[in-house]
Amino acid sequence: MKESTKKILFISSIAIIVIATGLTFYFLSKKPKGKTKKLKNPNPQKILIVGDSQSAIITSDGKPISFTYPNLLRKTFPDKEIDVLAEGGKTTKWMVENLPAQLGKKKYDRVYIYGGGNDTSNSSIKLETTLSNIQKMVDLSNENGADVFVNTGWQIEGEKGRFGNYNIMPKTTYITSREQWIPFVEKRRRLQERIPTEIKNASFISPYDLKQKTNDGIHPTAEGHKLVAKYVADTIA
């Protein structure tokens, strides 16, 4: 083989390696947005967010909450109508019961369902019940012509971080020692794992990193809500 031919082959090999390495780093660096099905309305103008305290924009006594992610999304997308059906402390049963009336008010292009946290903190509510309620909401929204996204929430860090770390989670009337949170945190983890495999006809926002921005192991801080807003916005824009 001629020396010039050897040089060409050598240079070509190096080029292939460089390109392959670059592509590998590119795909590894891309953040997964979760599983997305084909959208009927890829540019949604009317959006509904269904949830609990994670998504609420008013307190139980009617005072506005400005820092939660739905209001941040309104600022990011001023040309879109973003409604919120969410109250602190509510379970998916409440969401299912109240969703039909909300869907009757407006023809939504997109519905985001972010619930189940309060279900998993209640020992009398089975995961099967929660999953059934989420599926009912997905079906109702689909029947109304909306694309549906199920938000699975924040990554559970446990004792290695802050989200889901029972050491900083609050005591309540029913949870008198922080160790009692442990089975509820595990229940939440199982719900996150089951949602993408058992819920049908929906897209999903995979568990996301809120970089430990929580004070109670459950709710994001104002800075944490900025990250939630970004992850949700990535599925809108």
> Are residues 6 and 62 located together in one domain of the fold?
no
pLDDT digits (tens, 9 = 90+) for 8-40: 444 444 444 433 434 333 333 344 446 677 899
DSSP letters for 129-190: HHHHHHHHHHHHHHHTT-EEEEE--B---GGGSSTT-TTTSPP-SS--SGGGGHHHHHHHHH
Q: What does the alpha-carbon distance between residue 192 and residue 42 come to, in Å, rounded to a whole number?
A: 25
> Are residues 142 and 157 located together in one domain of the fold?
yes
pLDDT beneath 70, residues of the chain: 1-35
**CATH number of domain containing 179:** 3.40.50.1110
Domain of residue 12, residue span: 1-30
pLDDT digits (tens, 9 = 90+) for 193-224: 999 999 999 999 999 999 999 999 999 999 99
pLDDT at 47 (0 to 100): 98
What Å distances lie between residue 91 and 70, 119, 153, 217, CA to CA? 19, 6, 15, 19
pTM: 0.85
> Are residues 1 and 56 located together in one domain of the fold?
no
> Are residues 84 and 188 located together in one domain of the fold?
yes
> Are residues 97 and 11 located together in one domain of the fold?
no
Residues 6+ apart with CB under 8 A from 196: 34, 35, 152, 204, 206
> Are residues 174 and 81 located together in one domain of the fold?
yes
> Are residues 44 and 22 located together in one domain of the fold?
no
> Are residues 142 and 223 located together in one domain of the fold?
yes
pLDDT at 36 (0 to 100): 76
Six token digits for residue 223: 């800075």
> Are residues 135 and 23 located together in one domain of the fold?
no
